[in-house]
Chain A
Amino acid sequence: MSEVKLIKTIKEIPREELFAPGHRLCAGCGIPILVRMVLKAIPGPKVVVTATGCLEVATTIFPYTSWKVPWVHSAFENAAATASGIEAAMKVIERKRGGKKAKVIAFGGDGGTFDIGLQALSGALERGHDMIYICYDNEAYMNTGIQRSSATPTGASTTTSPAGKVIPGKLERKKDLIGIAIAHGVEYAATLNPAYPVDMYNKIVKAASVEGPTVLHYYTPCPTGWYFDTSRTIEISRLAVQTRLWPLYEYDHGVYRINIVVKKPKPLEEYLKTQGRFRHLLRPENKWVLEKLKESIEEQWNRLVKLAQMSGQKIY
């Protein structure tokens, strides 16, 4: 593990920008906040691999690019495998002929990570490549037009899980990505949220300090797919944490830590009513789906509290 330089305020975040403006990500999109932060927080040379998705299509429309670092896109499901190859090659070239090693960063959306790219990610984590894998999770296939993924939360209406008269939105639960990562034996995994930039910055720094695979899971509101005003991105992000829907926690070399302990959660309805995708959940006939969502949030929070307490954290 290399030296870790954590920050206390956003004023300490480096000013250098390696992600150029002019990209076509939507107004109010949370993804560029993540990318700028990642490129600021990770020191030294770096290479970025990006799965097919919003980030890829909106930042590299030929002949333009927003990337001031080497950037590779190959396909949808193979960001982790492509990154594996770059990492393996740099290591062996350094050993055989000398050369510069760079930190390999892979970005995938929730579709590219939870669904079609899960196998490649699992393989890369198991093989132990030195890379940071970052999932930007806007909770559906937004690039193709708001189709449900296994990261879509219970109850959300998408174009392939529409709020119908019989089936009111997605009925299944969201997959536990961090749990999957930890099950592979990664040394560091954490959730990120754009309303908590210092927490986000420090977690990226910690992930980058590990020599081996790490996984970061970033919550990113999507005004286009969630139906909210583009000015409310950060407000909604903060509500996701304050309602315990999106717990900010980390797994750091065997230790679980809840980074933002939400002692008195705000009512979930406050969060849901900010977004069109949940509007139907507030109708009386769909209360049963709302209850399912609340149950899953409570279960997740309670499980994390237990894990954090087992790791010695005082929660309440």
Chain B
Amino acid sequence: MKVETETRGIRTGMTGNAAVAYAVKQADVDVIAAYPITPQTVMVEKLAEYVNNGELNAAFVPVESEHSALSTCVGASLAGARVFTATASQGLALMYEILWIAAGLRTTIVMGIGNRALSPNINIHCSHDDAYAARDTGWIEFFAENVQEAYDLTLQAFKVSEDKRVLFPSMVNLDGFILTHSLEALNVLRDEEVREFLPPKEPVNPIDPDNPMTYGPLDLQDYYIEHRRQQAEHFRMSYPRIVEILNEYSEFTGRRYSPIKTYMLDDAEIGIMVLGSSAGTVRYTVSKLREKGVKAGVISLTLYRPFPVDEVREHIKGLKVLAIMDRSYSFGSPGAQLFMDVATSLYNVKERPLLFNVIYGLGGRDLTPDQVELVVNKALEVAREGEVRETQIWVGVRE
């Protein structure tokens, strides 16, 4: 059943995988190169169907590995095409080498990730290990909280990556199975609305035999660091443009997008920060605890790279304690990945909350309201005592 709703688009139901594929089809991509991996498979199966049924005029390149998938996308993007690929976990790890190259060569690839735990032991369910491992490579990383966001962020990712003031590839992360395989209601734009928001790609310096250029030369001690410096500066400068595009999409659709989402944070003393689909569970629990007078609030990130440092600094004002939840673990590090980002962002801020890190949900273990309540209670304890005794705790684990 399709009905009109208050935000723009047609009401329908889709899984996360299908929603991303639908957005990619509406974006009228030119080249898709992909290799199957659970839980991403349905995303690219759908796209292959669209191509083979003549609904999408694109080349579907069924490559023999994820390494070749991203390599093919690099070539296609440099040749001027709008390009999409998708992967998860081991597949993203196999792409790792090319992630740096895709970003450094300023390609505009958009990649869907069905976030999945890395082996061993082999597991097909959600962790954020894969997305975190890509954090240094120069990709823009979005995290979707639900199927609607997975769809919307995919369309926004193309606009962001191809923008002349950005020109960096983007990942749209959606939690494996929890979002990739869940059927949810969402609003999808009409094709002509997508075309209005996302015009065809205008490639910058594409491969052109009439204007030959050398892409990816050898770069030694005399220039490499300047080129990295330029890339760093461009990546930093892309941030305000990303925010502009999120705002533009928000106005266009009536669905609000920004790098950070907050919930009941204004008067909160306890904050919980989280990525991905868990945000809903955390909000639900916090709303229940609010009824008991617990002054807690939630910060969730839509944009993970470039990291929204200023917004994080802004939103922690007034918090006594911030619990940072990571669906991953970083061996030998002082904290897991999101924790380290936040701690680094806040170190030079005078008035800042006490921080601790929560490891949860690895390999698809459900995050329950009980676990969230435990985290809030821990935060209240830290607030009472005025010090952090355990920088990192695990929840939902049999010790």
Please report A residues at the B interface, Cβ cutoff 8 Å.
45-47, 49, 56-57, 60-63, 65, 67-75, 77-78, 80-93, 95-97, 99-100, 102, 119-120, 122-123, 126-127
Contacts and interface: CB of A to CB of B under 8 A. Distances in A.
Contacts of A75: 71, 97-98, 101
A69 B217 contact: no
Interface of B: 30-31, 33, 57-59, 61-65, 67-69, 71-81, 83, 97-98, 101, 105, 200, 207-210, 212-220, 223
16 contacts: A60-B214, A60-B216, A65-B214, A70-B209, A71-B215, A72-B215, A73-B216, A85-B31, A92-B30, A92-B58, A93-B79, A93-B81, A100-B209, A120-B65, A120-B68, A123-B64
B313 to A, nearest CB: 38
Contacts of A126: 64
Contacts of A93: 30, 79-81
Which of B207, B208, B223 has most chain A Cβ within 10 Å?
B207
Given A88-B76, A89-B59, A89-B76, A46 B209 contact: yes
B71 A90 contact: no
Contact of B75 (A62, A68, A82, A127): A82
Given A62-B217, A63-B223, A74 B75 contact: yes
Contacts of B220: 61-62
A22 to B, nearest CB: 14
Given A60-B218, A61-B220, A86 B75 contact: yes
A60 B216 CA distance: 8
Contacts of B212: 67-71
Contacts of B69: 81
Contact of A70 (B57, B67, B213): B213
B389 to A, nearest CB: 47
A69 B208 CA distance: 9
Given A74-B98, A88-B33, 19 more contacts: A61-B217, A72-B78, A73-B215, A74-B71, A75-B101, A81-B75, A82-B74, A82-B75, A84-B71, A85-B73, A85-B75, A86-B75, A88-B59, A92-B59, A99-B80, A102-B207, A120-B65, A123-B64, A127-B62
Contact of B67 (A49, A71, A120): A120
A85 B71 contact: yes
A78 B98 contact: yes
A96 B51 CA distance: 13
Contacts of B83: 85, 89
B68 A78 contact: yes
Nearest to B63: A123
Nearest to B226: A62
Nearest to A73: B216
A80 B72 CA distance: 9
B30 A72 contact: no
Contacts of B65: 119-120, 123
Cβ-closest 5 pairs across A and B:
A85-B75, A123-B64, A45-B209, A78-B71, A60-B217
B78 A86 contact: yes
Contacts of B72: 81-82, 84-85, 88
Contacts of B68: 78, 80-81, 84, 119-120, 123
Nearest to A65: B214
Nearest to B64: A123
Nearest to B57: A96
A65 B200 CA distance: 32
Contact of B31 (A70, A89, A119, A122): A89
